[in-house]
Amino acid sequence: MMGPPRMMQCMIAVIGMEARMATGPRNLMTRPHRGEAQMAKWIRFEQGGKSGFGTLEGETIAVHEGDMFAGAKPSGEKLKLSEVQVRTPCDPSKMICLWNNFHQLAAKNDFTRPKEPLWFLKAPNAYWPAGKPIERPATYAGKIIYEGELGVVIGKKCFNISEAEAGDYIFGYTCVNDVTAVDLLRKDKSFEQWARAKSFDTFGVFGPVIATGVDPMKLSVKTVLNGKERQNYPVADMFFPPHKLVAAISKDVTLMPGDIIACGTSLGAGTMGDAHNLVDIVIDGVGSLSNAFDQVLPSPYLLGSPPRQKKICIVGAGAIGGLLAAKFALAGEDVTVIDQGAHLAAIQKNGLKLEWHDGKVQTARMKAVNKPADAGKQDIVVLAVKAHFLDQVVRDIDSLLGPDTIVLTVQNGLPWWYFQRLGGQYDNHKLESLDPSGVLTRHIDPKRIIGCVVYPAAAATAPGVIHHVEGDRFPLGELDGKETERVRELHDLFIKAGLKSLVLPDIRSEIWLKAWGNLSFNPISALTHATLVDICQFAETRQLAANMMKEAQDIAQKLGVTFRVSIDKRIAGAEAVGAHKTSMLQDVEAGRSLETEALIGSILEMAKLTNTPAPAIESVYALVKLLNKVMLLEGGGVKVEKSKAA
């Protein structure tokens, strides 16, 4: 299967009606030997509330009586295909699905050849006939993919049969579209959800007929999406062809009449991404399976609809604050920014220009002032200044706060409120490195605070101009972990603004995940003037970052924090951002005060609190702290520039 690696692959084997054990006698009168079956296309239908089956010849059904898999006989009745409703060609008691069954797909994705069929079950509620539209699950908004496959139909109950015997049980072949909610497969890092991703209602599409008397090894499977061929692969490319496959699976489970074995797809499976999709699985000699899929997405809003307009004040319209101010204003919110100097003047005169990474440029108009008193009471206050400036801005914050005003913090590193409303051993412990005077704790009631983790990268490139580099995720969480109506509404404001968000039950673990990179990449970049990709691709600095992250991980784990990704994966994520200058490097070049305590000092304070050694972090902290002191004393920054030719 194409798309994300290790996508599941399925082939169908429908198993017949009469019981036969591997060692039992062969009943040739009940079922002809393989290769002796007459060519026919079996179909099931419904008409006038009654179900029936028969053979399809052109557009006419020759109705049969009895059991399709055992001695069915023509009744003499003829029906037009247009006069009936087509059903699935059988009712499986189980659908067995395989993964990694084709040489070409395995070679492309560097999969190891399986030693035996790799399979799992797909739920019966998923079975769906030709002609009916595939439906999006009400709870799922991610990608949905198609997989064109072949179905093998076998005639009798069997267990522990040999490959040589398997052909005696093959009834015929059908077309399959194995539909998958692909984003669910590895949503939980600890458990791959194959059955869930494959078993939504309408996701097990097969039919419309079962063709008998054909050689499967001469067949090719084609998938056509909206008129364009997406898949075209030979059945002969299987690791486990039909006879071998059925024999192998029969050694694991008893195959009952009508069961389906979903056994594999090859190159070309992909997303049904258009507003309207028509998918055709075409196997010459077998049939054509056609279904529509329309994108009817569930509401992205946790409260069901876009929230009403909010008064939002952004304190500090720099890289991230400016990005949020522009996005919220463009979404129709009543936005005020508080800033200073040339940046403030440019916003007042021309608005705030937002340059998105894809080249889209928008200008947002908003109120811009230089002090809280001029902003008035707000529904939401976003504190977007650097952590070491917070003690200055909160002294006048009361003029922004009404009875229900939310305070959203978007600083890098650990927040001053980390231990507030935490519970347990360290509940309400004050971080001296982040709130030495206690002014933050005194002026902001922790019940107002909602935590936020900022994943986008951006830069203020000129007065009144914000350039977005990458990312759009802003996970949120209440300090006590509850999913309140106000945090859901805040989530919906981010969605309304075209950003991504998620309400987390443990915002602190997510803060640590982001801080993990900040505490290493930011100071290393400030000291070396290297971009993220440079740090990650230089062996010594990559190892230094890993050492610092390991020390931080040891500290966090003593505080009950769990990390959902490995150190290597976190570094790889930073590397993928590319030649981006960290916020601390940008501050060094501009001669601004550095976030030394929020990014590093607070980690060391927690190291002492938990009696955890952190020599690498201590060393880097000392160097950055001295760099910050020198810059402040000299009144300037440091920037590496190319030397001019003599």
Average pLDDT of the segment spanning 50-78: 95
DSSP state of 598: I
Q: Does a structural domain hold residue 479?
A: yes
Q: Does a structural domain hold residue 493?
A: yes
CA separation for the pair 157, 217 (Å, rounded)? 24
pLDDT at 20 over 50: no
Average pLDDT of the segment spanning 139-164: 92
Residues 235 and 168 in one domain: yes
* Stronger pLDDT, 457 or 36, i.e. the higher one: 457
Average pLDDT of the segment spanning 266-282: 95
> Given this model, what pLDDT does residue 331 score?
97
201-243 tens-digit pLDDT: 999 999 999 999 999 999 999 999 999 999 999 999 999 999 9
379-430 tens-digit pLDDT: 999 999 988 899 999 999 999 999 999 999 999 889 999 999 999 999 999 9
pLDDT at 623 over 90: yes
Q: Which domain holds residue 626?
A: 506-638
Residues 378 and 513 in one domain: no
pLDDT at 328 over 50: yes
Indicate if 514 belongs to the active site: yes
504, 523, 553 — which closes off a domain? Answer: 504
Q: Which of 406, 404, 428 shows the shortest CA–CA distance to 417?
A: 428
281-292 tens-digit pLDDT: 999 999 999 999
Residues 286 and 429 in one domain: no
CA angle 458, 373, 463 (to 5 degrees): 30
591-610 tens-digit pLDDT: 999 999 999 999 999 999 99
Residues 568 and 583 in one domain: yes
Residues 368 and 457 in one domain: yes
Query: Would you state the structure tokens that stand for residue 364, as one six-digit string?
Result: 């947002």
467, 484, 504 — which closes off a domain? Answer: 504
pLDDT at 14 over 80: no
Q: Does a structural domain hold residue 60?
A: no
pLDDT averaged over the chain?
91
> Given this model, what pLDDT does residue 37 score?
61
CA separation for the pair 240, 173 (Å, rounded)? 16
Q: Does a structural domain hold residue 459?
A: yes
Residues 328 and 394 in one domain: yes
Residues 365 and 487 in one domain: yes
pLDDT at 339 over 80: yes
> Given this model, what pLDDT does residue 388 score?
86
Number of structural domains (the chain) is: 3
Residues 329 and 417 in one domain: yes
CA distances from 307 to 279, 296, 318, 321, 509 (A): 37, 21, 26, 21, 28
> Given this model, what pLDDT does residue 10 score?
37
Q: Does a structural domain hold residue 252?
A: yes
> Given this model, what pLDDT does residue 36 score?
44
Average pLDDT of the segment spanning 160-188: 93
Query: Would you state the structure tokens that stand for residue 104, as one six-digit string?
Result: 């070409």
Average pLDDT of the segment spanning 60-78: 94
Residues 328 and 440 in one domain: yes
One of 132, 430, 514, 550 is an active-site residue; which one?
Answer: 514
504-563 tens-digit pLDDT: 999 999 999 999 889 999 999 999 999 999 999 999 999 999 999 999 999 999 999 988
Residues 524 and 494 in one domain: no
pLDDT at 633 over 70: yes
> Given this model, what pLDDT does residue 517 score?
87
Residues 498 and 523 in one domain: no
CATH number, residue 403:
3.40.50.720
Instruction: Tell me how far the alpha carbon of residue 522 is from its chain's centroid.
Output: 27
pLDDT band for position 34 (50/70/90)?
Answer: very low
Residues 513 and 499 in one domain: no
CA separation for the pair 153, 168 (Å, rounded)? 11
CATH number, residue 611:
1.10.1040.10
pLDDT at 9 over 70: no
- pTM value is 0.62
| Rg, C-alpha atoms of the chain | 32
Instruction: Tell me how far the alpha carbon of residue 415 is from its chain's centroid.
Output: 28
DSSP state of 597: I
477, 504, 531 — which closes off a domain? Answer: 504
Q: Does a structural domain hold residue 275?
A: yes
CA separation for the pair 381, 448 (Å, rounded)? 10
CA separation for the pair 466, 360 (Å, rounded)? 12
Of the chain, the percentage scoring pLDDT greater than 70 comes to 94
**Contact predicate 249/261, CB 8 Å:** yes
